[in-house]
Amino acid sequence: MRNTNQDVKTIYRKDYVAPGYWVDTVEMGFDLHPQRTHVATRLHMRRNHDSAEKDLILFGEDIQLHQLRLNGVDLKRSAYQRNKERLIISNAPDTVVLEIETSIAADKNTTMSGLYVSNGNFFTQCEAEGFRKITYFPDRPDVMATYTVMLRADKKQFPVLLSNGNLIEQGDLGDGRHYAKWEDPFKKPSYLFALVAGKLVCQEEKYRLKSGRKVLLQVWVEEGNLDKTQHAMDSLKNSIRWDEERFGLELDLDRFMIVATSDFNMGAMENKGLNIFNTKYVLANSRTATDADYAGIESVVGHEYFHNWTGNRVTCRDWFQLSLKEGLTVFRDQEFSGDLVGNATGRAVKRIEDVRILRQHQFPEDAGPMSHPVRPDSYAEINNFYTVTVYEKGSEVVRMYYTLLGHEGFRKGMDLYFQRHDGQAVTCDDFRAAMADANGRDLSQFERWYSQAGTPRVKADGEYDAKRHVYRLKLSQACPATAGQDHKLPFHIPFAMGLLQQDGSEFALQLESGKAHPQAPRSIILELTQETQEFEFHHIEHEPTPSLLRNFSAPVILDFDYSDAQLAHLLAHDSDAFCRWEAGQRLAMRRLLKLVKSVQNGEALALDDMFVEALRKTLVDANLDPAFRELVMTLPSEVMLAEEMEIADPHSIHQARRFVRASLAQALKAEFLSVYQDHLTPGKYKPDAVSAGKRALKNCALSYLLEWSHESTYELAYTQYFEAENMTDKVAALSAMLHCSSALQPQYQARRAEVLQDFFDEFQHEALVIDKWFSLQACAPSTDVKQIRQLMKHKAFSLANPNRARSLIFAFCNANPAQFHAADGSAYELWGDAVIALNKLNPQVAARLARSLDRWTKYPVAQQEMMRAALQRVATTKGLSKDVAEIVNKALA
Binding site for Zn ion (CB under 5 A): 326, 329
Phi/psi for 225 (5° steps) reads -110, 10
Of the listed pieces 115-123, 266-274, 427-435, 581-589, which binds ligand 0A1 according to CB under 6 A? 266-274
Minimum Å gap between C-beta 673 and Zn ion is: 43
Distance CA 270, CA 344 (A): 30
Residue 149 or 269 having the CB closest to ligand 0A1: 269
Residue 394 or 498 having the CB closest to ligand 0A1: 394
Q: According to the binding rule CB under 6 A, does residue 268 interact with ligand 0A1?
A: yes
Residue 326 or 886 having the CB closest to Zn ion: 326
Binding to ligand 0A1 (CB under 6 A) within 370-389 occurs at: 383, 386
Q: Give the sheet arrangement for strand 524-528, strand by strand.
A: 524-528, 493-500, 545-548
How many other β-carbons are positioned within 10 Å of the β-carbon of residue 623? 4
Q: According to the binding rule CB under 6 A, does residue 123 interact with ligand 0A1?
A: no
Of the listed pieces 268-276, 468-476, 649-657, 676-684, which binds ligand 0A1 according to CB under 6 A? 268-276
SS (H, E, C) 96-113: EEEEEEEEECHHHCCCCC
Residue 270 or 630 having the CB closest to ligand 0A1: 270
630 binds, among ligand 0A1, Zn ion, none (CB under 5 to 8 A by kind): none
Distance CA 857, CA 535 (A): 39
Q: Hey, what's the torsion of the CAs at 557, 559, 565, 570, to 10 degrees?
A: -40
Phi/psi for 480 (5° steps) reads -65, 155
265 binds, among ligand 0A1, Zn ion, none (CB under 5 to 8 A by kind): ligand 0A1
Minimum Å gap between C-beta 303 and Zn ion is: 5
Residue 261 or 728 having the CB closest to ligand 0A1: 261
Residue 504 CA to its chain's centroid (Å):
36
Distance CA 402, CA 276 (A): 30
Minimum Å gap between C-beta 329 and Zn ion is: 5
Instruction: Give how far Cα 489 sits from Cα of 427, 432, 531, Å.
Output: 22, 18, 8
Question: What one-character-per-residue DSSP string does 442-507 give?
Answer: --GGGGHHHH--S--EEEEEEEEETTTTEEEEEEEEE---BTTB---PPP-EEEEEEEE-TTS-B-
Of the listed pieces 259-267, 528-536, 659-667, 867-875, which binds ligand 0A1 according to CB under 6 A? 259-267
Minimum Å gap between C-beta 347 and ligand 0A1 is: 23
Of the listed pieces 260-268, 735-743, 769-777, 783-791, which binds ligand 0A1 according to CB under 6 A? 260-268
383 binds, among Zn ion, ligand 0A1, none (CB under 5 to 8 A by kind): ligand 0A1
For residues 286 to 315, the per-residue mask of contacts with ligand 0A1, x marking binding by CB under 6 A and - elsewhere, is -----------------xx-----------
Distance CA 283, CA 743 (A): 31
Q: Is residue 205 annotated as part of the catalytic site, yes or no? A: no
588 binds, among ligand 0A1, Zn ion, none (CB under 5 to 8 A by kind): none
Distance CA 284, CA 686 (A): 12
Minimum Å gap between C-beta 300 and Zn ion is: 9
Catalytic residue among 127, 304, 630, 643: 304
Residue 535, burial from CB neighbour count under 10 angstroms (0-12, 13-18, 19+):
middle
Closest listed residue to residue 143, CA positions, set 15, 51, 253: 51
Query: What is the C-alpha end-to-end distance of the chain, expressed in Å?
Result: 7
Residue 397 or 595 having the CB closest to Zn ion: 397
Return the residue of 41, 102, 265, 585 that touches ligand 0A1, per CB under 6 A: 265
Q: According to the binding rule CB under 6 A, does residue 277 interact with ligand 0A1?
A: no
Q: According to the binding rule CB under 6 A, does residue 125 interact with ligand 0A1?
A: yes
For residues 334 to 373, the per-residue mask of contacts with ligand 0A1, x marking binding by CB under 6 A and - elsewhere, is ----------------------------------------
- The amino acid at 871: L
Q: What share of the chain is helix, strand, coil (3-state, %, to 5)?
A: 45, 20, 30
User: Active-site residues: which are they?
Assistant: 304
Q: Which residues bind ligand 0A1 (CB under 6 A)?
A: 125, 127-128, 265-270, 303-304, 326, 383, 386, 844
